[in-house]
A = this chain, B = another copy of it.
Amino acid sequence: MGRLEIVGLEGIGEIRPGDDLAGVIAEAAAASAVGLRHGDVVVVSQKVVSKAEGRLVPVDPEDPHDHRRVVEAETVRALRRRGDLVISETEHGFVCANAGVDLSNVDEGWAALLPVDPDRSARRIRDGLRARAGVEVAVIVSDTFGRAWRRGLTDVAIGCAGIAALVDLRGSQDDRGRELHVTEVAVVDELAGAAELVMGKASGIPVAVIRGVEEAWFGGGSVRTEIVRPPAEDLFR
């Protein structure tokens, strides 16, 4: 704790279905001044993960209904609709616009879907980086979501590996020696948002390396089991 460094990784080229994403990241890191070190957190944008995993479906660019059809297929439950916008609950339990289906930065005529299991995607990249670069890092797969009561989008974690998604400070003492009650911090979401600040939207930098993250946070972790709020807890579904 105390000091973080966040660097966008240059030199990740176009990613295509079947590409070894961990290999590409390891190569780009080796060629850059940043490198990869034990204890780094590697944040990877969903778009390149979906591409590498072949999560692309054809859509007719002339027919807006075709995009709509894909969104509906990816939507388990529609929480709200307004015009073309659907606030979807996805198979993963995420609540996001248009079920995370994305037409930007993919070839015309194609849409990118969310990875089937983004925690598993993160684990694969983590295992690949251990094999390729010989380093033990944590991996976060990030995507850009809206919020119910705040304008603007932020990047959040949709999958993680090697790092706790929530850091539970309940029971820690505040600086008066009293118990703090609810302070489970979604550190993977804060890390994903921080990474977005160096990735940008159209800058072609889909990977960021975060160095200096608190060692105690490393270990097992899952966005699905820790962050996704079960409907029974949910006050707004």
Contacts and interface: CB of A to CB of B under 8 A. Distances in A.
Contact of A166 (B10, B97, B151, B214): B151
A63 interface: no
A153 B170 CA distance: 12
Contacts of A181: 104
A108 B196 CA distance: 39
Contact of A178 (B108, B165, B180): B108
Nearest to A107: B176
Interface in A175-205: 175-176, 178, 180-187, 189-191, 193-194, 196-198, 200-205
A168 to B, nearest CB: 9
A145 B9 CA distance: 30
A30 interface: no
A57 to B, nearest CB: 17
* Centre residue among A187, A190, A237 by max chain B CB count within 10 A: A190
Given A150-B156, A151-B166, A175-B105, A235 B185 contact: no
Interface stretch (A114-122, A130-138, A221-229): A221-229
Contacts of A184: 151-153
A25 B194 CA distance: 23
Interface string A99-128: 000001111100000000000000000000
A142 B16 CA distance: 40
Contacts of A174: 104-105, 201-202
A165 B150 CA distance: 11
B201 A172 contact: yes
A37 to B, nearest CB: 16
A73 interface: no
A56 interface: no
A115 B171 CA distance: 27
A190 B148 CA distance: 16
Nearest to A194: B194
A193 to B, nearest CB: 4
A5 B8 contact: no
B3 A228 contact: no
B6 A6 contact: yes
B204 A153 contact: no
Contacts of A235: 79-80, 82, 87, 148
